[in-house]
Protein backbone atom coordinates (compact mmCIF):
# COMPACT_ATOMS: atom_id res chain seq x y z
CA UNK A 1 0.00 0.00 0.00
CA UNK A 2 1.48 3.33 -1.07
CA UNK A 3 0.25 6.64 0.24
CA UNK A 4 1.23 10.27 -0.21
CA UNK A 5 2.04 12.21 2.98
CA UNK A 6 0.06 15.43 3.21
CA UNK A 7 2.56 17.54 5.16
CA UNK A 8 3.45 20.39 2.85
CA UNK A 9 7.14 21.28 3.05
CA UNK A 10 8.06 23.20 -0.07
CA UNK A 11 11.01 21.73 -1.97
CA UNK A 12 12.10 25.29 -2.79
CA UNK A 13 12.15 26.31 0.87
CA UNK A 14 14.92 28.80 1.68
CA UNK A 15 14.34 28.85 5.44
CA UNK A 16 15.67 26.40 7.93
CA UNK A 17 13.10 24.09 9.46
CA UNK A 18 12.71 21.49 12.18
CA UNK A 19 10.67 18.36 11.45
CA UNK A 20 9.64 16.56 14.65
CA UNK A 21 7.61 13.43 15.10
CA UNK A 22 7.50 10.00 16.72
CA UNK A 23 9.85 7.29 15.60
CA UNK A 24 8.79 5.46 12.44
CA UNK A 25 6.30 8.17 11.46
CA UNK A 26 8.04 8.54 8.09
CA UNK A 27 10.10 11.72 8.62
CA UNK A 28 13.21 10.43 6.86
CA UNK A 29 11.25 9.02 3.93
CA UNK A 30 9.35 12.29 3.53
CA UNK A 31 12.54 14.38 3.52
CA UNK A 32 14.32 12.06 1.09
CA UNK A 33 11.37 12.27 -1.30
CA UNK A 34 11.05 16.07 -1.00
CA UNK A 35 14.79 16.79 -1.20
CA UNK A 36 16.34 13.93 -3.22
CA UNK A 37 19.45 15.87 -4.29
CA UNK A 38 20.17 17.56 -0.95
CA UNK A 39 23.23 16.89 1.17
CA UNK A 40 22.05 14.35 3.74
CA UNK A 41 23.72 13.86 7.12
CA UNK A 42 22.47 10.83 9.03
CA UNK A 43 23.46 10.90 12.70
CA UNK A 44 22.36 7.27 13.06
CA UNK A 45 25.39 6.50 10.90
CA UNK A 46 28.11 5.80 13.47
CA UNK A 47 30.93 7.38 11.46
CA UNK A 48 28.98 10.61 10.94
CA UNK A 49 27.86 10.63 14.57
CA UNK A 50 31.44 10.22 15.83
CA UNK A 51 32.84 12.76 13.35
CA UNK A 52 30.41 15.54 14.32
CA UNK A 53 30.39 14.69 18.03
CA UNK A 54 34.17 14.94 18.18
CA UNK A 55 34.35 18.12 16.09
CA UNK A 56 31.06 19.94 15.38
CA UNK A 57 32.97 22.72 13.57
CA UNK A 58 33.61 20.27 10.70
CA UNK A 59 30.04 20.91 9.58
CA UNK A 60 30.86 24.59 9.11
CA UNK A 61 34.14 23.81 7.32
CA UNK A 62 32.52 21.33 4.91
CA UNK A 63 29.44 23.37 4.05
CA UNK A 64 31.11 26.78 3.89
CA UNK A 65 33.31 25.35 1.12
CA UNK A 66 30.59 23.53 -0.83
CA UNK A 67 27.87 26.20 -0.34
CA UNK A 68 24.92 23.90 -1.13
CA UNK A 69 21.96 25.55 -2.82
CA UNK A 70 19.41 23.01 -1.55
CA UNK A 71 18.51 22.55 2.11
CA UNK A 72 21.03 20.40 3.99
CA UNK A 73 19.15 17.61 5.76
CA UNK A 74 20.43 16.55 9.20
CA UNK A 75 18.56 13.50 10.45
CA UNK A 76 18.38 12.76 14.20
CA UNK A 77 19.69 16.22 15.12
CA UNK A 78 18.95 15.61 18.82
CA UNK A 79 21.86 13.14 18.89
CA UNK A 80 24.46 15.94 18.43
CA UNK A 81 22.92 19.15 19.85
CA UNK A 82 26.20 21.08 19.48
CA UNK A 83 25.72 20.97 15.69
CA UNK A 84 22.96 23.55 16.08
CA UNK A 85 25.55 26.23 16.86
CA UNK A 86 27.26 25.46 13.53
CA UNK A 87 23.89 25.42 11.76
CA UNK A 88 23.14 28.85 13.24
CA UNK A 89 26.53 30.14 12.08
CA UNK A 90 26.03 28.78 8.54
CA UNK A 91 22.56 30.33 8.30
CA UNK A 92 23.92 33.72 9.36
CA UNK A 93 27.19 33.76 7.42
CA UNK A 94 26.38 31.75 4.28
CA UNK A 95 22.55 31.78 4.10
CA UNK A 96 22.54 27.97 3.90
CA UNK A 97 19.16 26.35 4.46
CA UNK A 98 18.67 23.30 6.70
CA UNK A 99 16.08 20.61 7.31
CA UNK A 100 16.62 19.36 10.87
CA UNK A 101 14.81 16.18 11.69
CA UNK A 102 14.35 14.29 14.93
CA UNK A 103 12.08 12.49 17.32
CA UNK A 104 12.58 14.63 20.41
CA UNK A 105 12.70 18.41 20.63
CA UNK A 106 12.46 17.95 24.42
CA UNK A 107 15.97 16.51 24.55
CA UNK A 108 17.31 19.61 22.86
CA UNK A 109 15.38 22.17 24.87
CA UNK A 110 16.08 20.40 28.15
CA UNK A 111 19.79 20.45 27.31
CA UNK A 112 19.60 24.17 26.47
CA UNK A 113 20.55 23.56 22.84
CA UNK A 114 20.52 26.41 20.35
CA UNK A 115 17.01 26.23 18.87
CA UNK A 116 17.98 28.87 16.28
CA UNK A 117 15.99 31.71 17.87
CA UNK A 118 13.12 31.91 15.40
CA UNK A 119 15.28 31.26 12.34
CA UNK A 120 13.68 27.86 11.69
CA UNK A 121 10.11 26.91 10.88
CA UNK A 122 8.58 24.04 12.86
CA UNK A 123 6.78 21.10 11.29
CA UNK A 124 5.43 17.96 12.94
CA UNK A 125 4.74 14.64 11.27
CA UNK A 126 2.55 12.15 13.04
CA UNK A 127 1.16 8.83 11.86
CA UNK A 128 -0.86 8.45 8.69
CA UNK A 129 -4.27 10.14 8.54
CA UNK A 130 -7.42 9.35 6.59
CA UNK A 131 -6.73 11.64 3.58
CA UNK A 132 -3.36 9.93 3.14
CA UNK A 133 -4.87 6.44 3.29
CA UNK A 134 -7.85 7.27 1.07
CA UNK A 135 -10.03 4.21 0.50
CA UNK A 136 -7.64 2.09 2.59
CA UNK A 137 -8.63 4.02 5.73
CA UNK A 138 -10.23 1.71 8.30
CA UNK A 139 -11.16 3.19 11.69
CA UNK A 140 -11.12 -0.17 13.48
CA UNK A 141 -7.70 -0.92 12.02
CA UNK A 142 -6.39 2.48 13.17
CA UNK A 143 -7.77 1.88 16.68
CA UNK A 144 -6.18 -1.58 16.87
CA UNK A 145 -2.89 -0.97 15.10
CA UNK A 146 -2.31 2.74 15.56
CA UNK A 147 -1.36 5.05 12.74
CA UNK A 148 2.40 4.56 12.54
CA UNK A 149 2.69 3.59 8.83
CA UNK A 150 4.55 0.30 9.31
CA UNK A 151 2.19 -0.85 12.09
CA UNK A 152 -0.94 0.09 10.17
CA UNK A 153 0.15 -1.86 7.09
CA UNK A 154 1.61 -4.96 8.77
CA UNK A 155 -0.26 -8.16 9.53
CA UNK A 156 2.22 -8.67 12.37
CA UNK A 157 1.14 -5.38 13.92
CA UNK A 158 0.72 -6.72 17.48
CA UNK A 159 4.38 -7.72 17.83
CA UNK A 160 5.45 -4.43 16.28
CA UNK A 161 3.24 -2.51 18.71
CA UNK A 162 4.56 -4.44 21.71
CA UNK A 163 8.16 -3.67 20.71
CA UNK A 164 7.41 -0.05 19.87
CA UNK A 165 5.58 0.63 23.13
CA UNK A 166 8.23 -1.12 25.18
CA UNK A 167 11.12 0.71 23.51
CA UNK A 168 9.28 4.03 23.40
CA UNK A 169 8.29 3.80 27.06
CA UNK A 170 11.86 3.01 28.10
CA UNK A 171 13.68 5.46 25.85
CA UNK A 172 11.32 8.41 25.64
CA UNK A 173 8.77 8.38 28.44
CA UNK A 174 10.74 6.89 31.34
CA UNK A 175 14.08 8.49 30.44
CA UNK A 176 12.49 11.91 30.20
CA UNK A 177 10.29 11.40 33.27
CA UNK A 178 7.12 12.30 31.39
CA UNK A 179 5.00 9.74 33.26
CA UNK A 180 5.40 8.94 36.97
CA UNK A 181 4.23 5.33 36.87
CA UNK A 182 5.36 3.40 33.79
CA UNK A 183 3.56 0.16 34.83
CA UNK A 184 0.27 2.07 35.22
CA UNK A 185 0.76 3.85 31.91
CA UNK A 186 1.62 0.56 30.18
CA UNK A 187 -1.52 -1.06 31.66
CA UNK A 188 -3.55 1.90 30.41
CA UNK A 189 -2.22 1.41 26.87
CA UNK A 190 -2.97 -2.33 26.93
CA UNK A 191 -6.51 -1.74 28.27
CA UNK A 192 -7.14 0.88 25.59
CA UNK A 193 -6.26 -1.57 22.79
CA UNK A 194 -9.23 -3.16 21.02
CA UNK A 195 -8.70 -6.70 19.75
CA UNK A 196 -9.11 -7.29 16.01
* Phi/psi of residue 46, nearest 5 degrees: -55, -40
Domain boundaries, the chain: 16-124, 130-192
- Residue 21: in which H helix or E strand, if any? none
Give the integer Cα–Cα distance in Å for 129 and 75: 23
- Reference 144, options 157, 160, 126; nearest CA is 157
Please state which CATH class domain 16-124 belongs to.
alpha beta
Q: What is the CA radius of gyration of the chain?
A: 18
Let me know if 114 is exposed, middle or buried by CB neighbors in 10 A (0-12, 13-18, 19+).
middle
- Whole-prediction pTM: 0.78
Give 64-130 as a 3 state SS string. HHHCCCCCEEEECHHHCCCHHHHHHHHHHHHCCCEEEEECCHHHHHHCCCCCHHHCEEEEECCCCCH
What pLDDT tens digit does each residue of the chain (196 aa) get?
A: 567 888 888 766 677 898 988 888 999 999 999 999 999 999 999 999 999 999 999 999 999 999 898 899 999 998 898 898 899 999 889 999 999 998 876 666 665 566 677 777 888 998 898 888 888 899 999 888 888 888 888 888 888 888 887 777 666 656 655 555 556 666 666 665 544 4
Could you say which DSSP state residue 36 is in?
Answer: T
Helix pair angle (57-66, 46-54), 10° resolution: 100
Amino acid sequence: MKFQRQLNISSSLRNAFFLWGPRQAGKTSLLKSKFPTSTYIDLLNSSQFIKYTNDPSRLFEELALSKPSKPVIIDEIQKVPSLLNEVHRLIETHQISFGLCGSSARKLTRGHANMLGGRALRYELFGVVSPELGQDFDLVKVCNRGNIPNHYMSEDYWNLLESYVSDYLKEEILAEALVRSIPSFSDFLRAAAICD
